[in-house]
Structures are given as C-alpha cells and as structure tokens.
C-alpha cells in the first residue's frame, strides 16, 4: 500500500564530492511534515555537507534533492523563501543592533518594513530578548546569541527549520533554554532537520534519527528503537575486569565491548543471565545503567579519534 504524503525533504541517492573526497555517498532519506529528523555522526561524517545541500548553499554532485516537492537545483530561491537556517557559526551581523539584525534579515525575504518590525519584536519576545533590542550583538552572551540566531531563522515564518549543531558550546542553562523553544516550535507543527554531537539533544528533540559515518547512513529509526535494537536496554560497565568476567561474558555470548581498562556489557535486565553479571561481578567501580544513544553511536562509529 502506498500512501501519498507530500514530503518536506526527499533526498534520493544524494552525493557530494569535494575533489576526490566523497563527503556524502548515496544518501537517501525523507522528512515528513511536522517531524524532527536528526543527523548524527562523528566529525567528517557528512552532516554539514548534507545540510548545506538542503538549503542550496552547496551544489549537489549526484542524485536528486527535493524540498517541498521542488528541485533544489532550479527552485532554490522559492525553497529558501520557506526555510529557516541556523548555520554552525554564529554569523549575526556585528555592525547592527539586536533588533536591526532581525529587521535587515527580514528585508532579504522581501518582508516590508512595518511587518518586519512587528515580526522582529514578536520573535524577540519569544526568545526573551525584547529588553536587549537596542544592544550591540557583540554584548550578548553565547546563549543569547544562539537564541537570536534562532529568531533570525524564524523571521520568514518558515515551513522547515534547519539547525546545524544548534547548542554546541553552550552551558547547560542555555541549552535547555534553546531546547524548550525548539520543542514549542515542534508542537506547533514546524518540521525540523538538525545535526548534533549531543546524544541527549538528539534523543530529546528528534522523532527520528539517522546515524551516519563517512557519508553513508549506518542506522535510521526512532531513538528508543535504535537503542533497543542495537544495544538492548541495559548496560553494565566494569572497570579493570578480571579474567573471570571476560570468560563469563564470552562464554554466554553477551554483546560487549572490551576496552583497555573497561568492559561494557549490553543486555536486558529481564534476562536472568544478564542479572547474574550484576550480582556476581559488580563490585566497586562498576556501573549499572540504562542503555543510551551514545552507546549505539560509539558502537557503530567506533571509539577511535575521528580527526
């Protein structure tokens, strides 16, 4: 049975080459209306390259990419009119005030002066910066800057919001401030495509995730499902494991990672045998915890340094 929902993003066999480097390799994915899709992956996985293609900044090398059913190669102007983008770098205009940053940006979308001001004021309220409207942006804190970048991306009332590492470098308070606003936008039906290095961010905000490495998709699915499928629900971590633990784990065929000075065993608490590990081997310097997205991420993309 085929349902016909108009997709926000439809990428098929998308490729991006920089010289001889294949940054994005045969990537196919979709983003349905109202969905938040997260792209996860280590540095150099091709996340930013993918995102840059979706707003027509970087030309695609191969494949097909449609946003709102429009071809990005030919209809990029119409597409950009309906999307909002937070790039990785904070590129607010330092020559302008907080309010002017929004007003001038609104002009780029051909929003007339009066309406531009109204929307700007409204968005400043949304990000709690209305009392800083005449400040120079260089006087804002990191979290305020990020919120203003978000407000700027919303100035054209977009149908799709693209966020490239929205909370990198922020303190926990600022991160939560931003998350709350993103959740509100999501609740109002805004479609979001985001990249992040933070697994908690991905798990909290995204309906669906794509974990990628070296330009290819490794896994795709709902956060909880991905965790369940790839590492189970629970984890026991034992520091400096002795011979006995290692033999037990291998003998019973547990999914595990043996690191230099640590063994990580994945399983399910309902599993009696898994419980035995906890009872028999878990002394001091042992952690029992829920499995997280980070476990999946590290298992799939490796623990070595990526750069």
Partner 1 sequence: MDNLRIDNLSWRFILVWNRNMVVYRKIWFVNFLVPLLEPIMYLAAFGIGLSALIHKVSYQGTPVSYVLYIAPALVAITIMYNAFFENTYASFVRMYYQKTFDAMMTTPLSLEDIIAGEIFWGATKSVIAAAIVLGVITCFGLVSFPSGLLVLPVSFLGGLAFGTVGMIFTGLTPTIDMYNLPIFLFITPMFLFSGTFFPTSTLPGWAQKLALALPLTHVVNLCRAFFLGKTSLGLAWSVLYITAMFILLFPVALIVMRKRLIS
Please pick, from the candidates 6, 13, 107, 115, the single residue that binds partner 1 as defined by CB under 8 A: 107
The set of residues, in sequence order, having a beta carbon less than 8 Å from that of 205 and lying 6+ positions away, is 36, 38, 179, 182, 183, 186, 192, 194
110's tokens: 């051909």
Is 307 buried (19+), middle (13-18) or exposed (0-12) by CB count in 10 A?
exposed
- Determine the interface stretch with partner 1 among 55-63, 120-128, 187-195, 293-301 (rule: CB under 8 A): 55-63
Residues 161/192, Cβ–Cβ less than 8 Å: yes
Closest approach, Cβ 35 to partner 1, in A, equals 21
Closest approach, Cβ 9 to partner 1, in A, equals 16
Please pick, from the candidates 22, 26, 32, 58, the single residue that binds partner 1 as defined by CB under 8 A: 58
Q: Are strands 36-40 and 191-196 parallel, antiparallel or unpaired?
A: parallel
Cross-strand bridge partners of residue 235: 266, 289
Closest approach, Cβ 103 to partner 1, in A, equals 8
Closest approach, Cβ 177 to partner 1, in A, equals 22
59 binds partner 1 (CB under 8 A): yes
8 φψ region: left (φ > 0), alpha (ψ -120 to 50), beta (else): alpha
Closest approach, Cβ 95 to partner 1, in A, equals 4
20 binds partner 1 (CB under 8 A): no
- Determine the interface stretch with partner 1 among 83-91, 248-256, 271-279, 285-293 (rule: CB under 8 A): 83-91
172's tokens: 């926990």
Q: Which residue has the tokens 């990005």?
A: 72
List contacts with partner 1 (CB under 8 A): 18, 55, 57-59, 77-78, 80-81, 83-85, 87, 89, 91-96, 100, 104-105, 107-110, 152-153, 156
């Amino acid at each position: 049975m085929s349902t016909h929902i108009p997709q926000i993003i439809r990428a098929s066999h998308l490729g991006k080459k920089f010289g001889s480097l294949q940054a994005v390799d045969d990537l196919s994915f979709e983003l349905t209306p109202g969905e938040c899709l997260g792209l996860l992956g280590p540095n150099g996985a091709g996340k930013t390259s993918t995102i840059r293609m979706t707003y027509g900044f970087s030309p695609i090398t191969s494949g097909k990419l449609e946003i709102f059913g429009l071809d990005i190669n030919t209809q990029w102007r119409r597409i950009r009119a309906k999307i909002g983008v937070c790039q990785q770098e904070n590129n607010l205009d330092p020559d302008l005030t907080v309010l002017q940053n929004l007003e001038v940006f609104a002009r780029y979308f051909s929003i007339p002066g009066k309406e531009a001001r109204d929307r700007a004021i409204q968005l400043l309220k949304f990000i709690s910066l209305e009392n800083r409207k005449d400040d120079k942006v260089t006087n804002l804190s990191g979290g305020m800057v990020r919120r203003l970048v978000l407000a700027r991306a919303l100035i054209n009332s977009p149908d799709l919001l693209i966020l490239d590492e929205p909370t990198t470098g922020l303190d926990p308070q600022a991160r939560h401030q931003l998350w709350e606003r993103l959740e509100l936008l999501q609740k109002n039906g805004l479609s979001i495509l985001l990249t992040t290095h933070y697994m908690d961010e991905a798990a909290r905000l995204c309906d669906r995730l794509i974990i990628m490495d070296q330009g290819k998709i490794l896994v795709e699915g709902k956060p909880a499902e991905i965790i369940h499928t790839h590492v189970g629900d629970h984890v026991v971590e034992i520091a400096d494991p002795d011979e006995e633990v290692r033999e037990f784990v291998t003998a019973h065929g547990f999914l595990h990672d043996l690191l230099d000075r640590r063994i990580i065993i994945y399983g399910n608490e309902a599993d009696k045998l898994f419980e035995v590990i906890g009872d028999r081997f878990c002394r001091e310097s042992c952690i029992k915890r829920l499995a997280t997205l980070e476990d999946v991420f590290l298992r799939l993309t490796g623990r070595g340094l990526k750069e």
